[in-house]
């Protein structure tokens, strides 16, 4: 999909988007909106029959239960997220996310700061908070992995880069 690796389920048409690729998909949608201007969509998410059911999915990579997250906190689009491996999108959720982003609602919800301020360089204090948050999240992932496996070995240092929220924050501040 445009150089981004995704896997589609033949049974339900859902998509598995590994780690950092979900952020890249959202980034591309935001960039497309900026280039094309607003489209004729209200960005309202309409649930399919399958999406109306509450289903707690297991991560296809680690088989642990994934977290249900409301995309952009208020979109009404509930995605299934594994902090270590990626995001599961039910059928048509990618299109719903695209409509939400293309309607400009992601920018409206992310901050009360005008969009042009996102283009400015991030200040050092903000970056320090981000790095501290990343360290805390990495430590929590390590603790959860140790709890799951029952061993005290270190987790791959690259794991911290797969965190979607961190990638989004970095992108917004750069």
Q: Structure pTM?
A: 0.51
Which stretches of the chain drop beneath a pLDDT of 50?
A: 39-40, 110-122, 152-163
Whether residue 90 contacts residue 25, with contact meaning beta carbons closer than 8 Å, is answered with no
Integer Cα distance of 76 and 97 in angstroms? 10
Which tens digits make up the pLDDT trace of 99-115?
888 787 876 554 444 43
pLDDT digits (tens, 9 = 90+) for 39-60: 445 555 556 555 667 888 899 9
- Residue carrying structure tokens 């501290």: 132
What's the confidence (pLDDT) of residue 116? 34
């Amino acid at each position: 999909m445009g150089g981004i690796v995704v896997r589609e389920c033949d049974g339900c048409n859902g998509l598995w988007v590994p780690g950092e690729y979900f952020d890249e998909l959202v980034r591309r949608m935001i960039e497309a909106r900026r280039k094309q201007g607003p489209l004729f969509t209200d960005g309202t998410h309409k649930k399919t029959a399958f999406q109306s059911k509450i289903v707690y999915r297991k991560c296809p990579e680690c088989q642990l239960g994934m977290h249900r997250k409301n995309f952009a906190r208020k979109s009404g689009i509930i995605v299934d997220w594994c902090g270590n491996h990626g995001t599961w999108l039910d059928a048509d959720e990618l299109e719903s996310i695209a409509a939400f982003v293309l309607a400009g609602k992601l920018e409206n919800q992310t901050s009360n700061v005008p969009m042009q301020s996102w283009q400015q360089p991030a200040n050092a204090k903000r970056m320090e908070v981000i790095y501290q948050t990343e360290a805390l999240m990495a430590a929590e992932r390590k603790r959860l992995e140790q709890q799951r496996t029952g061993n005290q070995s270190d987790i791959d240092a690259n794991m911290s880069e797969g965190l979607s929220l961190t990638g989004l924050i970095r992108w917004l501040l750069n």
